[in-house]
Amino acid sequence: MKDSNFLKENNARHMFHPMAHPADSLANPPKIITGGNGVRIKDVDGRETIDAVGGLWNVNLGYSCQPVKEAIARQLDALPYYSTFRGTSNDAVISLSYELADFFAEDGLVRAFFTSGGSDSIETALRLARQYHKVRGEHGRTKFISLKKGYHGTHMGGASINGNANFRTAYEPLLPGCFHIPAPYTYRNPFDESDPARLAKLCAAALEDEIAFQGAGTIAAFIMEPVLGAGGVIPPHKSFMPMVRKICDKNGILLITDEVITAYGRTGAWSGSRLWGIKPDMMCTAKAITNGYFPFGAVMLSQGIADTFESDTTGSAAIGHGYTYSGHPVGAAAALACLAETKRLDVASNASARGAQLYKGVLKLMGKYELIGDVRGGHGLMTALELVSDRKSKAPVDKSIPIKLQDAVYENGTMVRVSGPNLILSPPLILSEDETDQILDALDAGFSSLQ
Ligand SMILES: Cc1ncc(COP(=O)(O)O)c(C=O)c1O
């Protein structure tokens, strides 16, 4: 490996970073991570920190999961690649599809369509939703409705249903036929409603209103994250998704859950859909399916979708969509090993216990630091702190503050993520009680250093 001076000098000279301004990447060199072990990462200067970001919400099992590494190595030896396009398959992906059907049986999901990551999974779900309606003869159902503040990756379809201008404006015009309703975000919403149950009703009413305005027969699907992640960890009231499910059913609209973050245990349940007690028509998964050890994803499909496609005799259900790496055998081997470890370690239960500890600890910090305007979480290891310059007016902080805070927390032994005014915590699900306290101590020290 090149030495640390070479790495620091050359970062951003020959690459653009995603989600960053190229000039900023040159002016403010990022932390260069060179090692990982358990829930900890090590940077090029040898500093070790707890990774309270969990990679990017994906390294649920931590950085040294030996069974996953071994499964990848074995698969590379046996068969590094073979396609699953019509006419061929591979043994690893068949085993994985069997295991996933079992894992998601409780969600009513029976088939998998494999992808290379989250954005691919979203694109796949949107396309299959339109095709599903066409196969059934409802050619006019092409539109999508989603939540403001939602994040669905950055492909053109995903960007079009995203609910944050940061991921849209520079890339417009986006896909026509995508519409948004307010998110059940109690801290800020157009209804000025802070009661979660009442807000859930208002948002559901906005969905019904939008459906009536567009015409139910023009809408293919409604898509949402069961707990909004990148938008700042926004858990809806428990009544929201069941109401959404009913509204979709009444109007013949498919319900797609974007579980790129929430599937495989992060919320304390095995899926976000299960957390809220609903069954989606499609579920987009990625991230923790392979824990970041290999780029991979899976869209899970309900029996109703499977029946529609599989019973078609006209040819209209032939799938004209897929990726070279759909069902990649190394990704499938990694996923099989991740799924086995995920279940063996019962990471959902740990996410629930450690998530409660983290949420409680951060609420305590809110009592201590005026800078924290809102704390959101309480459902597994997904927690956010929204920073404000004034609690009363909820005026946002200067952009430099969250970055300063992130650096101070890092100096105190914990990596956290900044997303706009939010500090986001999504550590690996194998986090211990002691490590949770260490994250809270680092946050406390970071806030205290800003005073
Ligand atoms: C809810 C959600 N959907 C989709 C995506 C996109 O996934 P990817 O970055 O793997 O393309 C993300 C990524 O963070 C996500 O959080």
Q: Tell me, using a 6 A CB cutoff, whether residue 84 lines ligand 1.
A: no
Q: Is the pLDDT at 71 greater than 70, yes or no? A: yes
Q: Tell me, using a 6 A CB cutoff, whether residue 225 lines ligand 1.
A: yes
* CA 153 to centroid of ligand 1, rounded, Å: 5
What CATH code is carried by the domain that includes residue 328? 3.40.640.10
* CA 258 to centroid of ligand 1, rounded, Å: 8
For residues 187 and 70, give the distance between their C-alpha atoms in angstroms, rounded to a whole number. Answer: 45
> Which DSSP symbol is given to 105?
G
93 and 213, same domain (yes or no): yes
145 and 217, same domain (yes or no): yes
Does residue 82 lie in a domain region?
Answer: yes
pLDDT for 2: 73
Does residue 323 lie in a domain region?
Answer: yes
User: Which atom in ligand 1 lies closest to the alpha carbon of residue 158?
Assistant: 4
Q: Is the pLDDT at 4 greater than 90, yes or no? A: no
Q: Which candidate, 307, 125, 150, 304, places its Cα nearest to that of 221?
A: 125
> pLDDT digit string (tens) for 318-374?
999 999 999 999 999 999 999 999 999 999 999 999 999 999 999 999 999 999 999
Does residue 178 lie in a domain region?
Answer: yes
For residues 290 and 192, give the distance between their C-alpha atoms in angstroms, rounded to a whole number. Answer: 40
> pLDDT digit string (tens) for 174-224?
999 999 999 999 999 999 999 999 999 999 999 999 999 999 999 999 999
pLDDT for 161: 98
Two tokens, residue 373: 């305007």
Rounded (5°) CA angle 18-287-241: 105
Q: Is the pLDDT at 422 greater than 90, yes or no? A: yes
Two tokens, residue 144: 């999508």
383 and 237, same domain (yes or no): no
* CA 163 to centroid of ligand 1, rounded, Å: 13
Share of the chain above pLDDT 70, in %: 100
If one counts the domains in the chain, the total is 2
For residues 44 and 4, give the distance between their C-alpha atoms in angstroms, rounded to a whole number. Answer: 6
351 and 293, same domain (yes or no): no
* Strand (E) or helix (H) holding 417: strand 417-419
Q: 13 or 302: whose pLDDT is higher?
A: 302
pLDDT for 125: 99
Mean pLDDT across the stretch 63-90? 98
Mutate to test the pocket of ligand 1, among 151, 227, 285 (most ligand atoms within 8 A of CB): 151
- What Cα–Cα distance (Å) separates residue 48 from each residue in 32, 39, 451? 12, 10, 25
If DSSP codes are grouped into helix, strand and coil, which group holds residue 32? coil
276 and 401, same domain (yes or no): no
Q: Which candidate, 362, 360, 352, places its Cα nearest to that of 443?
A: 362
Mean pLDDT across the stretch 16-26? 95
The model scores a pTM over 0.95 = yes
Does residue 294 lie in a domain region?
Answer: yes
Does residue 238 lie in a domain region?
Answer: yes
For residues 315 and 319, give the distance between their C-alpha atoms in angstroms, rounded to a whole number. Answer: 9
Q: Per the omega criterion (within 30 degrees of 0), is the bond before 173 cis?
A: yes
- When pLDDT is cut at 50, 70 and 90, the band that residue 239 belongs to is very high
Does residue 2 lie in a domain region?
Answer: no
> Which DSSP symbol is given to 17?
P
- When pLDDT is cut at 50, 70 and 90, the band that residue 413 belongs to is very high
Does residue 181 lie in a domain region?
Answer: yes
pLDDT for 379: 98
Two tokens, residue 128: 């299959």
Q: Are 270 and 105 in contact (CB under 8 A)?
A: no
User: Which atom in ligand 1 lies closest to the alpha carbon of residue 153?
Assistant: 6
Final residue of a structural domain among 344, 368, 392? 344
Final residue of a structural domain among 344, 374, 392? 344
> pLDDT digit string (tens) for 256-285?
999 999 999 999 999 999 999 999 999 999
Mean pLDDT across the stretch 37-66? 98
Does residue 247 lie in a domain region?
Answer: yes
For residues 200 and 241, give the distance between their C-alpha atoms in angstroms, rounded to a whole number. Answer: 9
Domain range for 189: 67-344
Residue type, position 267, single letter: T
Residue type, position 40, single letter: R
Q: Is the pLDDT at 401 greater than 70, yes or no? A: yes
119 and 162, same domain (yes or no): yes
219 and 268, same domain (yes or no): yes
Q: Tell me, using a 6 A CB cutoff, whether residue 147 lines ligand 1.
A: no
353 and 339, same domain (yes or no): no
> pLDDT digit string (tens) for 148-172?
999 999 999 999 999 999 999 999 9
75 and 117, same domain (yes or no): yes
328 and 270, same domain (yes or no): yes
Determine the straight-line distance between the first and last CA of the chain, rounded to whole angstroms. 40
Mean pLDDT across the stretch 297-303? 99
Q: Which candidate, 150, 152, 142, 205, places its Cα nearest to that of 180?
A: 150
Mean pLDDT across the stretch 298-318? 98
* CA 150 to centroid of ligand 1, rounded, Å: 10
225 and 325, same domain (yes or no): yes
* CA 370 to centroid of ligand 1, rounded, Å: 31
Q: Is the pLDDT at 1 greater than 80, yes or no? A: no
Q: Which candidate, 421, 406, 321, places its Cα nearest to that of 373?
A: 421
Q: Which candidate, 242, 179, 226, places its Cα nearest to that of 206?
A: 179
User: Which atom in ligand 1 lies closest to the alpha carbon of residue 118?
Assistant: 7
> pLDDT digit string (tens) for 326-339?
999 999 999 999 99
Q: Which candidate, 233, 232, 249, places its Cα nearest to that of 241?
A: 249
What CATH code is carried by the domain that includes residue 380? 3.90.1150.10
User: Which atom in ligand 1 lies closest to the alpha carbon of residue 122?
Assistant: 4
123 and 180, same domain (yes or no): yes
Q: How many CA atoms lie within 13 A of 217 on its CB side?
A: 5
Final residue of a structural domain among 344, 364, 390? 344
Mean pLDDT of the chain, nearest integer? 97
pLDDT for 12: 87
